A and B are shown apart, each in its own frame.
Chain A
Amino acid sequence: MDSLTKKPRLATVWLGGCSGCHMSFLDLDERLFELHRRAEICASPFTDYKDFPEVDITLVEGAVTTAEQLEEIRHVRRRTKILVSFGDCAVTGNVTAMRNFFSVDDVLDRAYRETATQIVGIPSGNPAVPRLLDRVRPVHEVVKVDYFLQGCAPSAEEIYRLLMDLLDGRTPALAGRKFGS
């Protein structure tokens, strides 16, 4: 990664996932300071940003499940040099994709009608509620992905190693990882 000369720019994105991967990221604990020294964290669910900036590395948590996320990940891809599928939902669809056994209508019915107690009814026409895609898809099915970090969720240790490898310009050593664990 010779191109990363000055302080490399890092981002994380949260799509259709449970945020567990980001929790694991936060488990870097004191190593977050080291990360802060080595890279500039430009955008993440923990930071406030309007438009996704140009960055060197982006970690993507979660599968692509809404039309909005599809737009977002395409935009992110255009602005990122190295895109990493971060955790099983991004890599395989994982639990998020388990709704693929049902039609979108059935899923919405279940969520907003059958099980609702307060406000019953599917929100429609509300721009704040994004449209669900027909099926949930792993990130690499919609954009090119450079590295895959498996795990539900990957441990802080693994996230740290991956980031250090990338920041040091090494090909990340990801061999031997398993889906799931």
Chain B
Amino acid sequence: MSVKTLTIDGKMVTGMAGETIFNAAWEAGIRIPRLCHVGGVSDVGACRLCLVEIEGQKKLLAACLTPVEEGMVVHTNTERLRAHRRLILELLFAERNHVCSVCVMNGQCELQDLAAEAGLDHVRLRYQFPKLGVDTSHERFGLDHNRCVLCTRCIRVCDEVEGAHTWDVSGRGARSVIIADMGEPWGQSESCTSCGKCVQVCPTGALFSKGRGVGEMRKDRRFLKYIVTAREKHQWIR
């Protein structure tokens, strides 16, 4: 496999042919904000937080989906990108009901962290206050739609890693919701193996383990790395 050399934020970086800009940057210690991407499952390019500027390209491209190319000059943190990211985060906070102070993920949430990194200290858009439910029918886990950012990580890990494909999206636009099987309560899902992978990859407080109070939920994605390493390198190491 051939090696490509490119420049990211003024730094010379190398990546394998086919590798994404996101991964090449990550390996070089450059952290591009991301919400829908999670290492170990396929990418969908949905959150648009990882958009980067590539010299000679008019369009902004998702780093998580764009392969590296020889001689590419990439900027990941321009004023324009920062402004877009801030506004995308504002959109997310206004879209559903994020009451961090009473959320199981308070303090550990990826959305909170992204907002803090972006210097977001208030939301200029109107909060929409949609009426959404919490599905607590599963014996061990819960799904709080109020906190869901529709990143579809849960769908992909359940489909691609666990092989159950319990989750999917129903409805479209702002009416999109995550559903189990054909829309039944999670606890009645026949496909769910209760493996908990979806809970662990969920970036927010949307998927949680029962019995956790405010700020008590911790997520652990090491299992994904373990599986991916096994799959790619045939080594069962933690």
Spell out A's residues near B (CB within 8 Å): 85, 88, 91-95, 97-98, 100-101, 135, 138, 140-141, 145, 148, 150, 152, 174-181
Binary contact readout B132-153 vs A (1 if CB under 8 angstroms, 0 otherwise) = 0000000000000000000000
- Asked if A180 and B122 sit within 8 Å, CB to CB, the answer is no
How far apart are the CA atoms of A27 and B123 in the complex, in Å? 28
Q: A85 — which chain B residues lie within 8 A by C-beta?
A: 122
- Asked if A181 and B112 sit within 8 Å, CB to CB, the answer is yes
Min CB–CB distance B10 → chain A (angstroms): 23
- Asked if A91 and B122 sit within 8 Å, CB to CB, the answer is yes
Q: B103 — which chain A residues lie within 8 A by C-beta?
A: 180
- Asked if B215 and A179 sit within 8 Å, CB to CB, the answer is no
How far apart are the CA atoms of A176 and B137 in the complex, in Å? 36
Within 8 A of A (CB), among B119-135: 119, 121-124, 126-127, 129, 131
Within 8 A of A (CB), among B139-173: none
Dominant secondary structure of chain B at its interface with chain A: loop
Judged by a CB distance under 8 angstroms, whether B85 is at the interface is no
Partner of A88, one of B97, B100, B113, B124: B100
- Asked if B131 and A101 sit within 8 Å, CB to CB, the answer is yes
Q: B131 — which chain A residues lie within 8 A by C-beta?
A: 101
Q: B107 — which chain A residues lie within 8 A by C-beta?
A: 178, 180-181
**Which 6 residue pairs spanning A and B have beta carbons closest together?**
A180-B100, A152-B101, A148-B121, A179-B100, A148-B122, A100-B129
Residue of A94, A98, A177, A180 with highest tally of chain B CB at under 10 A = A180
Judged by a CB distance under 8 angstroms, whether B38 is at the interface is no
Judged by a CB distance under 8 angstroms, whether B23 is at the interface is no
How far apart are the CA atoms of A93 and B123 in the complex, in Å? 11
- Asked if B101 and A94 sit within 8 Å, CB to CB, the answer is yes
What are 13 A-to-B residue pairs whose CB atoms are below 8 Å?
Answer: A92-B127, A94-B99, A95-B99, A97-B127, A101-B97, A140-B122, A145-B122, A176-B116, A178-B107, A178-B112, A179-B112, A180-B100, A181-B215
Min CB–CB distance B31 → chain A (angstroms): 15
Closest B residue, CB atoms, query A99: B129
- Asked if B113 and A141 sit within 8 Å, CB to CB, the answer is no
Min CB–CB distance B123 → chain A (angstroms): 7
How far apart are the CA atoms of A88 and B116 in the complex, in Å? 14
Closest B residue, CB atoms, query A93: B127
Judged by a CB distance under 8 angstroms, whether B115 is at the interface is yes
Min CB–CB distance B216 → chain A (angstroms): 13
Closest B residue, CB atoms, query A20: B101
- Asked if B100 and A152 sit within 8 Å, CB to CB, the answer is yes
Known: A177-B121, A179-B93. A88 touches B129 (CB 8 A): no
Q: A101 — which chain B residues lie within 8 A by C-beta?
A: 97, 129, 131
Min CB–CB distance A90 → chain B (angstroms): 9
Known: A97-B129, A178-B100, A180-B100. A92 touches B122 (CB 8 A): yes
Min CB–CB distance A95 → chain B (angstroms): 6
Known: A135-B129, A180-B107, A181-B107. A92 touches B123 (CB 8 A): yes
Judged by a CB distance under 8 angstroms, whether B86 is at the interface is no
Closest B residue, CB atoms, query A98: B99
Q: A92 — which chain B residues lie within 8 A by C-beta?
A: 93, 99, 122-123, 127
- Asked if A88 and B122 sit within 8 Å, CB to CB, the answer is no
How far apart are the CA atoms of A145 and B131 in the complex, in Å? 28
11 new A-B contacts at CB < 8 Å, known A101-B129, A138-B123, A176-B119: A94-B101, A100-B129, A150-B121, A150-B122, A152-B100, A152-B101, A179-B93, A179-B98, A179-B115, A180-B101, A180-B112
- Asked if A174 and B121 sit within 8 Å, CB to CB, the answer is yes
Judged by a CB distance under 8 angstroms, whether B209 is at the interface is no
Partner of B121, one of A91, A135, A141: A91
Judged by a CB distance under 8 angstroms, whether B1 is at the interface is no
